[in-house]
Amino acid sequence: MQYTHLGRTGLMVSKLCLGTMNFGPLTTEEDSFAIMDRALELGINFFDTANVYGWKIGEGITETILGNWFAKGGSRREKTVIATKVFGRMGEWPNQNKLSALHIRQACEESLRRMKTDHIDLYQMHHVDPETPWDEIWQAMEVLVQQGKVLYVGSSNFGGWHIATAAETARSRHFLGLVSEQSLYNLTARTVELEVVPACRHYGLGIIPWSPLAGGLLGGALQKAREGRRANPDMEKRVEKMRPQLEAYEAFCQEIGENPADVALAWLLKNPVVTAPIIGPRTMDQLDGSLRALEINLTEDLMKKLDEIFPGPGGEAPWAYAW
């Protein structure tokens, strides 16, 4: 396994982050335990979750699975850098969602209880809350840091403007502020290259791409279809919409002798602002296979070919669209 700093911090995390969103809804607790144990064996120390995962309001099913796994001992908690999130609705009452100081405090306590731990390594705001001022948000986060319940704070699904505003407000309060941003980022979704990537680079945030395989599109979707593995109707529509690009992409991967999923991850890792793409394996084979991405060296010529197949927004703003 290879390790890198989380953004500008001294914290070292694996260059692949284990996503746990499937734990509970699609993966049993027993299988989830096996996947997490295998991840540690492979050297993956960075796990991502959220209080809403499990998708039953207020139950925190996935965090509970993580807590049960930590409780098995064997230094599982000590070896793991755990990242979770706050924002989503956790109850029917008015203050049981978003980023008020009240909800941040309550959500943190509930996540700690479910995960059977005394601190969260990376506490991420799952979305922007335009209704709550940054001074209130940062005051709440500062208290949690002072209490030792949170070590680092990150964002998710923020725009470049939000990252800049959050960073400058934290600076005025002499607070470390954001250290990471979790964004939708893959070969088919490159909008973040306009504003978010340069903002993260400027403020020293590490990008944690979610959906690095575009929900399976970049994982060899055409090849799987040829092998008779049926996709759901929504996936079939997406495949048909992007068939020319996917045909070119899978031919490119075959030409260089690599699996499409590994190339998609390697492409993200080529970006120095990226800390660790989130992988969400459903099987042990998928988990083991993902490490190949760390060994793939995409030359500049290969990167240009991928740009031709999946054009980005044209660079960074404003040069991408203005003279």
The structure tokens listed for 256 are 């260089």
Q: What angle do CA 91, 32, 84 make, to 5 degrees?
A: 45
Residue 249 annotated in active site: no
Q: Please, where are the H alpha helices in the chain?
A: 29-41, 61-70, 76-79, 101-115, 134-146, 160-172, 196-203, 221-226, 233-241, 243-256, 260-269, 284-290, 300-309
Cβ contact 33:69 at 8 Å: yes
3, 53, 152, 203: the active-site residue: 53
Residues in the chain, overall count: 323
Residue 53 C-alpha from the chain's centroid = 13
Cis before 209? omega within 30: no
Angle between helix 29-41 and 61-70 (nearest 10): 60
CB 282 within 8 A of CB 27: yes
CA 1 to centroid of chain Cα atoms: 18
Burial category of 301 from C-beta neighbours within 10 Å (exposed 0-12, middle 13-18, buried 19 and up): exposed
- Are 221 and 247 in contact by the 8 Å Cβ rule? The answer is no
> What does the DSSP assignment read for 61-98?
HHHHHHHHHHTT-TTHHHH-EEEEEE-S--SSSTTSST
Closest by CA to 47, choosing from 120, 102, 146, is 120
Q: Show which residues are catalytic.
A: 53
